[in-house]
């Protein structure tokens, strides 16, 4: 196991009716800006619950943070925050709203810098305090320091790292109104988050492996049950908590990580407007096929422990494990081939060129560069 340090300062407030605790969790004398996406929080009752809990606080609202939040929208929020001297942010919505709020928090603390310059900088540990009420489990943003921000002008989507939320409220009841497609994308995002930290190098850490495998098995178990009963509180609790545990820094302690599927997926989203989770379903099986030799040992472990595959030679077992993974994404109603999503060879060329121009290489072996990206995407056709 590699050396590591671990600290996660976010206070997780989980369960029914926890939104009412905002009254005490948000400092009473703060100048609060509440950030929102679209209008779903008004339809599912979350907006009313938040407003009721904060009725004694001084609050303003900012609406319109879109899926894959754009810096163009976030600049408007920053200007409003400066004008009203906001010193606390509360994100109410899914991971995109919280991701955008992380950048707003950093930009308000550094008013002389343009928000996109902060994104290009990659990391900023200077921010005003922020927290969230999570309504769409997927990204794990509620308990990590990462965000992904888009720029409409350049069709880019980049990672940005800031501080952790002070607290995050997760009430599984708010998931009852989610469309099944959003749930499918969320489940896929969780599953691939775990694979990016698990499906790398064998023999690094028994605790990390078993923890990751437990999350993978949980998603496989609950996914079909959610399809039949998306209002089951216990099922949605497992779904919501799995999203948090998949990306709150725990299962990556001391082990190598991949993240090439996510980086390729971000480009597909930026260029083609594909939902993030859907982009991962398109790329992950191809990543497994192209990088099978370097992931050989872990693929065999994954095949046995997750899919129960032990009969046959190793080559056949790995083939079946990859096929089972692809079939799982398909069972959620998601495409697993670029042709099914209408993605052309021109898009493949652009993504490969972007990797080369950035000079980046992802994967546990740091070998997923532009050339390897091209191989992966061609394999996904």
Q: What tens-digit pLDDT sequence spans the chain (381 residues)? A: 999 999 999 999 999 999 999 999 999 999 999 999 988 899 889 999 999 999 999 999 999 999 999 999 999 999 999 999 999 999 999 999 999 999 999 999 999 999 999 999 999 999 999 999 999 999 999 999 999 999 999 999 999 999 999 999 999 999 999 999 999 999 999 999 999 999 999 999 999 999 999 999 999 999 999 999 999 999 999 999 999 999 999 999 999 999 999 999 999 999 999 999 999 999 999 999 999 999 999 999 999 999 999 999 999 999 999 999 999 999 999 999 999 999 999 999 999 999 999 999 999 999 999 999 999 999 999
What are the backbone angles phi and psi of residue 282, rounded to the nearest 5°? -70, -35
Distance CA 298, CA 307 (A): 13
Same domain for 214 and 227: yes
Residue 5 in domain: no
Same domain for 292 and 186: yes
For residue 204, CA distances in Å to 195, 207, 253 come to: 15, 9, 10
Domain-terminating residue out of 157, 174, 191: 174
Q: Which helix (H) or strand (E) holds 156?
A: strand 156-161
Domain containing residue 130: CATH number: 3.40.50.1970
Range(s) of the domain holding residue 309: 179-379
Same domain for 254 and 139: no
For 104, the token pair is 């707003």
Instruction: Please give the torsion angle defined by the CA atoms of residues 121, 126, 127 and 130, in that order, rounded to the nearest 10 degrees.
Output: 100
Same domain for 119 and 66: yes
Same domain for 155 and 188: no
Same domain for 289 and 153: no
Could you give the number of structural domains in the chain? Answer: 2
Buried-state track 256-292, b at ≥16 Cβ within 10 A, e below 16: ebbbbbbbbbbbbbbbbebbbbbbbbbbbbbbbbbbe
pTM summary value: 0.95
Q: Backbone dihedral region of 333: left (phi > 0), alpha (psi from -120 to 50 degrees) or beta? A: left
Distance CA 356, CA 233 (A): 46
Domain-terminating residue out of 141, 174, 207: 174
Distance CA 273, CA 381 (A): 18
Burial of 226 per CB tally in 10 Å (0-12, 13-18, 19+): buried
For residue 162, CA distances in Å to 103, 107, 126, 224 come to: 7, 10, 7, 35
Domain containing residue 353: CATH number: 1.20.1090.10
Domain-terminating residue out of 174, 194, 218: 174
Same domain for 185 and 94: no
How many other CB atoms sit within 10 Å of the CB of residue 346? 9
Same domain for 132 and 78: yes
Residue 4 in domain: no
Distance CA 261, CA 361 (A): 12
Residue 219 in domain: yes
Handedness of CA 157, 368, 146, 18 (dihedral sign): positive
Same domain for 160 and 209: no
């Amino acid at each position: 196991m590699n050396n590591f340090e671990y600290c996660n300062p976010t206070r997780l407030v989980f369960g029914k009716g926890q939104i009412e605790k905002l009254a005490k969790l948000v400092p009473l004398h703060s100048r609060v800006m509440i950030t929102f996406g679209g209008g779903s929080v008004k339809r599912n009752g979350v907006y009313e619950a938040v407003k009721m809990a904060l009725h004694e606080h001084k609050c303003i609202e900012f609406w319109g943070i879109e899926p894959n939040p754009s810096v163009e929208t976030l600049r408007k929020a920053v200007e409003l925050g400066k004008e009203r001297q906001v010193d606390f942010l509360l994100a109410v919505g899914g991971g995109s709203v919280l991701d955008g709020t992380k950048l707003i928090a950093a930009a308000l603390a550094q008013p002389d810098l343009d928000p996109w310059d902060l994104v290009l900088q990659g990391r900023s540990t200077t921010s005003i305090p922020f927290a969230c009420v999570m309504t769409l489990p997927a990204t794990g943003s509620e308990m990590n320091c990462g965000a992904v921000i888009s720029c409409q002008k350049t069709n880019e989507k980049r990672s940005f790292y800031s501080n952790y939320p002070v607290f995050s409220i997760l009430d599984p009841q708010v998931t009852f109104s989610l469309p099944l497609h959003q749930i499918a994308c969320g489940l896929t995002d969780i599953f691939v988050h775990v694979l990016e930290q698990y499906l790398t190098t064998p023999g690094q850490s028994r605790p990390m492996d078993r923890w990751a495998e437990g999350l993978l098995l949980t998603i496989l178990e609950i996914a079909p049950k959610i399809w039949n009963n998306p209002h089951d509180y216990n099922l949605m609790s497992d779904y919501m908590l799995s999203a948090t545990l998949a990306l709150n820094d725990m299962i990556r302690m001391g082990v190598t990580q991949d993240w090439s599927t996510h980086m390729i997926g971000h480009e597909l989203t930026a260029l083609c407007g594909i939902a993030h989770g859907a982009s991962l379903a398109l790329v992950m099986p191809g990543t497994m096929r192209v990088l099978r030799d370097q992931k050989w040992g872990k693929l065999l472990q994954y095949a046995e422990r997750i899919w129960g595959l032990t009969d046959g030679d190793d080559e056949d077992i790995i083939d079946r494990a990859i096929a089972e993974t692809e079939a799982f994404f398909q069972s959620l109603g998601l495409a697993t081939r670029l042709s099914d999503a209408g993605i052309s060879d021109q898009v493949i060329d652009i993504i490969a060129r972007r990797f080369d121009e950035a000079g980046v290489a992802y994967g546990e072996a740091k070998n997923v560069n532009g050339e390897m990206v091209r191989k992966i995407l061609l394999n996904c056709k």
